[in-house]
Amino acid sequence: MTRPGSSERANVPPDIRERGAPVRGEPQTSARRLFVQLQVFTGCRDAAPLGAALAAGGAEGAVYLDLHDPRGVGIVLLHEDPAWFVTEGRRLLDSDPFAGLSRRTDYAMFGRTYATGHEADLEDWLLAKPRRSVLNPSWPWAVWYPLRRKSEFALVSPEEQSRILAEHARMGMAYGRAGYAADIRLACHGLDARDNEFVLGLVGPELAPLSLLVQDMRKSQQTAKYISTMGPFFVGRAVWQSPAPPARP
């Protein structure tokens, strides 16, 4: 038996816009998002030509030296149009000097920026802040990793979810206020080959605080109780970054 009004609701298309905190009583919404991709290669003796090639191709992103592989490099690319990654981005990474490298498929990550509904400046959160973090020349160190929550988290009440996530977020904000770290939070539902749900990037001026932040977050209820898998962890230091957008006034 169909409940009254259900057929009408079924014909209403889902609202796929991101939502931020209301401003002067008006909701903030946006259909724009930033897509971020990490590709990792090995067999690189000189990373300088990689950055030069990305700059010449007009790419936005960073080149990292892999901490764990003396010939490893990580390439982070940023774009609002996901089609760019399979057109211009694909051509860039399939041409010299990248064509002579071996790709580490186990480290490939891809995600999109998203909002939680609490963002005071939605457009900045979705588009500019991640760029400022990844492309900040004063924050060369980076740790990138995917994660998946346990399915039980979806059954927790919205109020309890908010409390759990707020506890986790406070740890990151404390490191951010101290200038130790900034995070880039990406959703990758249906975009990850291993069914991960999120990609996290932690960037900062030094490596030790990034490690300590991961350590502290292990103590939060979200990580200790509701995270199913984390990693692999890519750790690198930037040797090339495209120009960062100006800071917000």
Whether residue 9 lies inside any domain: the answer is: no
pLDDT at 71: 98
Q: Per-residue pLDDT tens for 128-179? A: 999 999 999 999 999 999 999 888 888 878 888 888 787 877 888 899 999 9
Whether residue 89 lies inside any domain: the answer is: yes
The token pair that represents 231 in the structure block? 């990693």
Mean pLDDT of 76-88: 98
pTM for this prediction: 0.90
Is pLDDT above 50 for 4? Answer: no
Whether residue 246 lies inside any domain: the answer is: no
Instruction: Identify the CATH number of the domain in which residue 142 sits.
Output: 3.30.70.1030
Whether residue 28 lies inside any domain: the answer is: no
pLDDT at 37: 98
Whether residue 20 lies inside any domain: the answer is: no
- Number of domains, the chain: 1
Straight-line distance from the first to the last Cα atom of the chain, in angstroms, rounded to the nearest whole number: 56
pLDDT confidence band for 223 (50 / 70 / 90): confident
Q: How far is Cα 108 from Cα 145, in angstroms, rounded to an integer? A: 10
pLDDT confidence band for 244 (50 / 70 / 90): confident
Q: Per-residue pLDDT tens for 178-198? A: 999 999 999 999 999 999 999
**Who has greater pLDDT, 219 or 34?**
34
Whether residue 24 lies inside any domain: the answer is: no
Is pLDDT above 60 for 7? Answer: no
Q: How far is Cα 86 from Cα 123, in angstroms, rounded to an integer? A: 25
Whether residue 14 lies inside any domain: the answer is: no
pLDDT at 1: 37
Distances (CA, A) of 72 to 32, 42, 166, 176, 189: 33, 4, 36, 28, 27
Q: How far is Cα 190 from Cα 111, in angstroms, rounded to an integer? A: 10
Is pLDDT above 60 for 8? Answer: no
Which residues, 6+ apart, have CB-to-CB distance to 120 below 8 Å?
Answer: 20, 21, 23
pLDDT at 9: 62
Whether residue 76 lies inside any domain: the answer is: yes
Range(s) of the domain holding residue 196? 33-239
Give the amino acid at 7.
S
Q: Per-residue pLDDT tens for 12-71? A: 899 999 999 999 888 899 999 999 999 999 999 999 999 999 999 999 999 999 999 999
